[in-house]
């Protein structure tokens, strides 16, 4: 399908009627009616438009809390009646869709694990046929596979869904990282250049996996003019049954949102608000994330050097292996040159890496 057709047909009315930042908040999981109602009532409706709570929870391993199921839908309905907030939950099959619709849930989202499965997405799309008024948000798939994400949007679009949006919740990385899910801001910027009209909501909670990083990720989302935020919030975060490390209290959320609005206002009033400065800031965000990755890779490489050192120490293999060193250097220069890097850079970097690796092995 032409990306342009999808982009031009998106109905943005559901999000444009709110002032930014449009905010979805609530607990990772609904646990009890009291927890759901208390959290919702402590949210400030001037700052939060949609109350979220997971009813069916996709857990990595079995024997964890997998959500309260259907009974939680009535709790969400009660939240709407008591607070006037719209409600949102994750759906992962056609039965979930049917039940969520029967309890008048306003926003349905497809979770990262489900977006990764074309069969699941197709089943959900089929069950949404004719339900034109529902807002459907599609989280990015676990892995940074943009085409799979776009494919999910196309499946929904083909069944008539127009109130579509996406949630950026970051991508799985095997590398040690300060994030639970790496944001990959550069990739998102590419995705958004294909679909400038699709509302994008940032989910700093699942990107960070902790409370501390939520503000700085939200600030970046604000810088990139995302359409909204989804932040997990719990009346008693330390006691949460899932994702307890990353949930904040409703009061903390309000503080964070106010701070975010203030900091963007003060930025706007300064001269740094010109377009060149903004573009520079964007590129620096991409560079910072790449640097974090480079550092993580260096740490990983040096760990393996240590293992080499241990092995060599236990045998009579000498630490310095000139043939292997020449081989690494030649291979790396060739690879790097194919990617447009200069020989000077490659030689410099690999000489340093080699020197450090020898030092580490000698120390053992
Ligand atoms: C969630 O929002 O609670 C959730 C399970 O998210 P994700 O699909 O991004 O892991
Ligand atoms: Mn969660």
Range of the domain at 355: 275-363
pTM for this prediction: 0.95
**Closest ligand 1 atom number to CA of residue 29:** 3
Looking up tokens 């994008």, which residue turns up? 200
Q: Pick from 295, 298, 292: which is nearest to 356 by CA?
A: 298
Looking up tokens 């990385």, which residue turns up? 173
Q: Which long-range contacts (CB under 8 A, 24 or more apart) does 66-72 make?
A: 67/29, 67/30, 68/29, 68/30, 68/31, 68/32, 70/99, 72/30, 72/36
> Which tens digits make up the pLDDT trace of 210-222?
999 999 999 999 9
From residue 50, alpha-carbon distances to 66, 228, 252 in Å are 22, 11, 17
From residue 212, alpha-carbon distances to 102, 178, 246 in Å are 37, 11, 8
Nearest ligand atom owner, CA of 111: 1
Residue 102 to residue 89: CA distance in whole angstroms? 13
Looking at the structure, do residues 260 and 333 belong to the same domain, yes or no?
A: no
Taking the centre of ligand 1 as the mean of its atom positions, its distance from the CA of residue 107, in whole angstroms, is 14
pLDDT of amino acid 273: 65
Residue 91, ligand 1, Cβ within 6 A: no
Residue 231, ligand 1, Cβ within 6 A: no
Confidence of residue 234 (pLDDT cuts 50, 70, 90): very high
Average the pLDDT over 172-193 and give the result.
Answer: 95
Q: What is the DSSP string of 339-360?
A: TT--HHHHHHHHHHHHHHHHHH
Looking at the structure, do residues 151 and 196 belong to the same domain, yes or no?
A: yes
> Which tens digits make up the pLDDT trace of 276-323?
999 999 999 999 999 999 999 999 999 999 999 999 888 888 888 889
Indicate which CATH number applies to the domain containing 313: 1.20.59.10
pLDDT of amino acid 272: 60
Looking at the structure, do residues 200 and 347 belong to the same domain, yes or no?
A: no
Contact 22, 201 (CB under 8 A): yes
pLDDT of amino acid 264: 85
Among 205, 239, 270, where does a domain finish? 270
Element (H, E) at 187: helix 185-194
Looking at the structure, do residues 205 and 317 belong to the same domain, yes or no?
A: no
Looking at the 3D structure of the chain, how many domains does it have? 2
Is the pLDDT at 269 greater than 80? The verdict is: no
Indicate which CATH number applies to the domain containing 8: 3.20.20.70
Looking at the structure, do residues 318 and 266 belong to the same domain, yes or no?
A: no
Contact 79, 103 (CB under 8 A): no
Residue 169, ligand 1, Cβ within 6 A: yes
Looking at the structure, do residues 208 and 332 belong to the same domain, yes or no?
A: no
Among 237, 270, 303, where does a domain finish? 270
Looking at the structure, do residues 231 and 332 belong to the same domain, yes or no?
A: no
The DSSP bridge pattern shows strands 228-232 and 107-110 to be: unpaired
Contact 139, 110 (CB under 8 A): yes
Among 226, 242, 270, where does a domain finish? 270
pLDDT of amino acid 225: 94
Looking up tokens 């998102």, which residue turns up? 188
Looking at the structure, do residues 263 and 330 belong to the same domain, yes or no?
A: no
Q: SS3 string of 31-82?
A: CCHHHHHHHHHHCCCCCCCEEECECCCCCCCCCCCCCCCCHHHHHHHHHHHH
Looking up tokens 């040096």, which residue turns up? 302
Contact 229, 218 (CB under 8 A): yes
Residue 199, ligand 1, Cβ within 6 A: no
pLDDT of amino acid 271: 60
Taking the centre of ligand 1 as the mean of its atom positions, its distance from the CA of residue 71, in whole angstroms, is 20
Looking at the structure, do residues 116 and 206 belong to the same domain, yes or no?
A: yes
Looking at the structure, do residues 52 and 128 belong to the same domain, yes or no?
A: yes
From residue 348, alpha-carbon distances to 305, 323, 336, 344 in Å are 19, 19, 12, 6
Residue 26, ligand 1, Cβ within 6 A: no
Range of weakest confidence among 42-51, 74-83, 293-302, 317-326: 317-326
Contact 315, 321 (CB under 8 A): no
3-state helix, strand, coil in the chain (%, to 5): 55, 10, 35
Looking at the structure, do residues 172 and 320 belong to the same domain, yes or no?
A: no
Looking at the structure, do residues 239 and 344 belong to the same domain, yes or no?
A: no
């Amino acid at each position: 399908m032409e990306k342009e057709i999808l982009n031009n047909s998106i109905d943005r009315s559901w999000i444009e009627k709110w002032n930014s930042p449009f905010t979805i908040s609530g607990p990772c999981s609904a646990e009890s009616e009291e927890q759901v109602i208390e959290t919702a009532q402590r949210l400030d409706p001037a700052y939060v438009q949609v109350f979220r709570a997971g009813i069916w929870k996709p857990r990595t391993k079995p024997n964890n809390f997998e959500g309260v199921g259907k009974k939680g839908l009535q709790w969400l309905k009660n939240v709407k009646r008591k607070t006037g907030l719209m409600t949102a939950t994750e759906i992962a099959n056609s039965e979930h869709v049917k039940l969520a619709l029967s309890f008048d849930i306003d926003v349905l989202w497809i979770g990262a694990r489900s977006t990764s499965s074309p069969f699941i997405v197709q089943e959900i799309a089929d069950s949404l046929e004719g339900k034109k008024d529902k807002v459907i948000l599609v989280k990015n798939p676990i892995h940074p596979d943009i085409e799979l994400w776009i494919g999910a949007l196309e499946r929904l679009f083909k069944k008539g869904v127009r109130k579509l949006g996406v949630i950026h919740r970051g991508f799985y990385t095997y590398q040690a990282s300060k994030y639970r899910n790496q944001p990959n801001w550069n990739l998102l910027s590419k995705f958004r250049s294909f679909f400038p009209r699709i509302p994008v909501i940032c989910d700093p909670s699942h990107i960070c996996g902790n409370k501390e990083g939520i503000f700085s990720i939200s600030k970046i989302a604000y810088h990139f003019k995302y359409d909204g935020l989804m932040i997990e919030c719990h009346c008693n975060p330390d006691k949460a049954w899932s994702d307890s490390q990353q949930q904040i209290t409703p009061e903390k959320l309000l503080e964070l949102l106010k701070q975010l609005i203030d900091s963007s206002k003060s930025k706007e009033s300064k001269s740094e608000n010109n377009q060149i400065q903004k573009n520079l800031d964007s590129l620096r965000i991409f560079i910072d994330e790449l640097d974090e990755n480079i550092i993580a890779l260096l740490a990983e490489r040096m760990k393996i050097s240590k293992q080499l050192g241990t092995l060599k120490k236990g045998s009579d293999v000498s630490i310095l292996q000139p043939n292997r060193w020449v081989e690494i250097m030649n291979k790396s220069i060739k690879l790097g040159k194919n990617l447009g890097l200069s020989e000077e850079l490659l030689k410099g970097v690999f000489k340093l890496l080699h020197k450090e690796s020898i030092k580490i092995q000698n120390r053992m």
